[in-house]
A and B are shown apart, each in its own frame.
Chain A
Amino acid sequence: MSVGIAIECDGIGLTYHAKSGTPVEALRRVSFRVAPRRVTAVIGPSGCGKSTLLLIIRGLLAPSAGRVSFVDERTGGIVPTKPRMATVWQGFNLFPWRTVGENIGFGLELGGMSRNERAARMQRSLAMVDLTGFESKYPRQLSGGMRQRVGLARALVMEPEVLLLDEPFGALDAQTRLVLQEQLARIVETSGTTAILVTHSIEEAILLADTVVVMTARPGRIAAEIAVDLPRPRSLATTHVACYSSLFDQIYGLLRDEVVKAMTTEMEIA
C-alpha cells in the first residue's frame, strides 16, 4: 500500500497578465490542508481559479506566491521527492492517435517500463474501470463516459499517491455521471490515495468528499471548509438523508453569493 500523503497549500497566489497587459489576480492567499487518504472537494463559481489551483498543486504551473508541501502521514515530515501524482481531466485529454491500451500505458512507457509489464498493469487498470476488452479501440470509438473511464484508468495505472480530479464528470450526461461517481468513490476508498476533486456540483462534492473546500469568486480565496460526516459507502440514497440536505443548504448558501458576484464581474468584463 502506498504512503498516505497530506497536502498543505500555504498562501498560494497567482497573478497573470492578460493579453491586453492588465494583470489578473486569479488566486489570493489560498491556504488549506488536504487530509491523507481522504477526498477533498474544491467547489466554487466558474472562473474562481479552482482548476488553476489543481495545476499549481500538480506542479504544472508555478504560483506567484506561496507554496505547496507534501507531508508523509507517518513521519509528519515533508517528503523529499514529490509523491506520485496523476490527474483526471474534464476534457479527458486522451491521445486520439493512441488506442485505449496505449493511452493507459503512456505514463509507464515514459518511465521506460517493459512492454509485458506495461500490458499487465494496463489490463489491471482497465478491469478497475470495467473496460476489459476495449484496449485496442481508439478514443473516438468510445462514448464520453467510456472515454473518461479510460482517463481514470490512465491515472490509476500510475498508482498515484495523490489523485487529482479536475471536474472529471463535467462533460458527461447526468446518468453516466451518477454511475461513474459511484465507481470512483469505490476505487478511491479501496486504493487509499489522497484525492482532490475540483467540481461545480454540490451533490458530487458531498457524495464523494470527506471535506468540501468552498472558494470565492475571482480572485479565488477559501470561503469555508466543511467536513462531510456522512457514512460510507454513499450512494444516491444518501441524498435523501436529512444531514445531506443541511450540508447541501450550507454549501449552497456560501456558493450562491459568490456565483452572483462572479456573474456580475463577468458582465463588467463584457
Chain B
Amino acid sequence: MLKEGPSMQAVIERPDKGTMQRLLQKIGEPRVLAWIAVAAVLLMWEIVVAAAQLNPIYLPRPTQILIALAAMFNSGGLLTDLLATLGRIFGGFAISLIVGTLLGIWMATSERVNAIADNFIAALYPLPKITLIPLLIIWLGTGGPFMLAISALGAIFPIVINTVLGIRQCDPGLILAARDLGASNRQVIKMVLLPSAVPSIFAGVRLGLGVSIILVVAAEMVVGKVGLGARLYLAGQILETEQVFAVLIVLAILGVVVTKAQDLIDIWLNQWRV
C-alpha cells in the first residue's frame, strides 16, 4: 500500500549501537517483518507436510509447487495462458474505461441522459455479472468477443458511477473561473470537469479492474480452452494439485502487481494534492 512515514524507531535511533542491535532493529522493521512472516509460513508448511507425509493430492509442499510452476512456464505453455488472460482483462477494461468515462461525462452534464441511464444502471449494477455468462455465451459464443464483453461488463459500472460522482463534486467556482477566462462548454468538460473528476474516476478504475479480473478468470473456468482460469480448472479435474497451486500463485502475483501499479498511478495522479 502507500509508503510509510519514518518509523518511531528511526526517530529514537542512537548512533552508538552494536551490529547485533542494528540487525535486530532491521528485522523489527514492518516491511522486513512482513516478508519474514511469509517465509516462516512457507517453511512451516514445508516442514509440516513433509513430517505428516500428507498425500500431495491434498496438499503439496511449497517446493513441489514451485517445481510445477517452473515446469509449466518452461514447457507447459503457462505464459500463453497468462498473456491470454491479461489480454482479455485489459482489453475489456480499456473498452470500459473509454465508454464508461464518456457515458459518465454525458450523464453528469445532461439531466435527460442521466434520467434515462439511471434506471438501467440501477437495474444492472447490483446484478452479479457472473450470472450474465450463460446469456453472453448464447449471444457471443465462447471466443474473444465473449471474453471482452464479460470483462468490460465487470468494469464499466464502477467507472460510470464514479465518473458521474466525480464530475458532480466539481467545485462550481472552478467552472465559473474557467468560463470567465473564456472556456467553451467543450473546454469546461475537457479542462475542468474531467481533471477534477480524475481521482474519483480512478477509484472506479480500482473497483472495476478487480471485478474484471474475477469475471475473466471465472469465465475461463467455465468455457475457456486457454487462459489461467481454464488451466486452473483443468488441473483440478485431473487432480494435479501442484498445478492448481501454481496457477493460484500466478493469480496472486497478478493481483499484487495490479494493486501496486494502481498505488503508483494514484500517487502520480495526486501529486497536486501535495
Segment 94-108 of A: residues with Cβ below 8 Å from B: 94-99, 106-107
Q: Give per-residue flags for B174-196: 1 if the beta carbon is below 8 A from chain A beta carbons, else 0.
A: 10111111111001000110011
Residue B273 at the chain A interface, CB threshold 8 Å: yes
**Chain A, 156-199, CB within 8 A of any chain B CB:** 158
CA distance A58 to B178 in the complex (A): 13
Expressed in whole angstroms, the Cα–Cα distance for A158 and B181 within the complex equals 8
Q: Are A138 and B272 in contact (CB under 8 A)?
A: yes
Contact across chains for A141 and B187 when beta carbons are under 8 A apart? no
Contact for A87 among B180, B191, B198, B272, CB less than 8 A? B180
Knowing A89-B173, A93-B173, A95-B192, say if A140 contacts B178 (CB, 8 Å): no
B191 / chain A contacts, CB cutoff of 8 Å: 106, 109-110
What is the CB-to-nearest-CB distance from A70 to chain B, in angstroms, rounded to a whole number? 16
Residues of A within 8 A of B171 (CB): 93
A85 at the binding interface (Cβ < 8 Å)? yes
**Nearest CB of B to A57, in Å:** 11
Contact partner of A97 among B177, B180, B195, CB < 8 A?
Answer: B195
For B173, what are the chain A residues with a Cβ–Cβ distance below 8 Å? Answer: 89, 91, 93
CB atoms of B182 and A87 under 8 A apart? no
B272 in contact with A140 (CB, 8 Å): yes
Residue numbers of B with Cβ under 8 A of A are: 171, 173-174, 176-184, 187, 191-192, 195-196, 198, 271-274
Docked CA distance A91–B180 (Å)? 14
Residues of B within 8 Å of A109, CB to CB, are 191
Is the CB–CB distance between A85 and B195 below 8 Å?
Answer: no
Whose C-beta in chain A lies nearest to the C-beta of B274? Answer: A140
**Contact status of A93 and B176, CB under 8 A, knowing A138-B274, A140-B272:** yes
14 residue pairs from A and B, CB less than 8 Å apart? A60-B180, A85-B180, A87-B176, A93-B177, A94-B177, A95-B174, A95-B192, A99-B272, A106-B181, A110-B178, A110-B183, A110-B184, A110-B187, A138-B271
Query: For residue A87, which residues in chain B have a CB less than 8 angstroms away from its CB?
Result: 176-177, 180
Determine if B274 and A97 form an interchain contact, defined as CB atoms under 8 angstroms apart. no
Contacts A97-B195, A110-B181: A140 and B273 contacting too (C-beta < 8 A)? yes
With A110-B187, A138-B272 in contact, is A89–B177 under 8 Å at CB? Answer: yes
Of the candidates B174, B180, B196, B272, which one forms a contact with A86 in the assembled complex, judged by CB atoms under 8 Å apart?
B180
**A111 on interface, CB distance cutoff 8 Å:** yes
The list of the 8 closest CB pairs from A to B, nearest first, reads A107-B181, A93-B177, A93-B173, A87-B180, A97-B272, A138-B272, A140-B274, A110-B182
Q: Across the interface, which residues of B come within 8 angstroms of A95, CB to CB?
A: 174, 177-178, 192, 195
**Which residues of A have CB within 8 Å of B196?**
97
Q: Mark A126-152, 1 if CB is under 8 A from B, else 0.
A: 000000000000101100000000000
Chain B residues with Cβ below 8 Å from A94 are 177
Query: Does A154 have its Cβ within 8 Å of any Cβ on chain B?
Result: yes
List 7 additional A-B contacts (Cβ < 8 Å) besides A55-B176, A85-B180, A106-B191: A60-B179, A60-B180, A93-B171, A95-B192, A99-B272, A110-B183, A140-B272
Report the bound CA distance from A141 to B176 in whole Å.
23
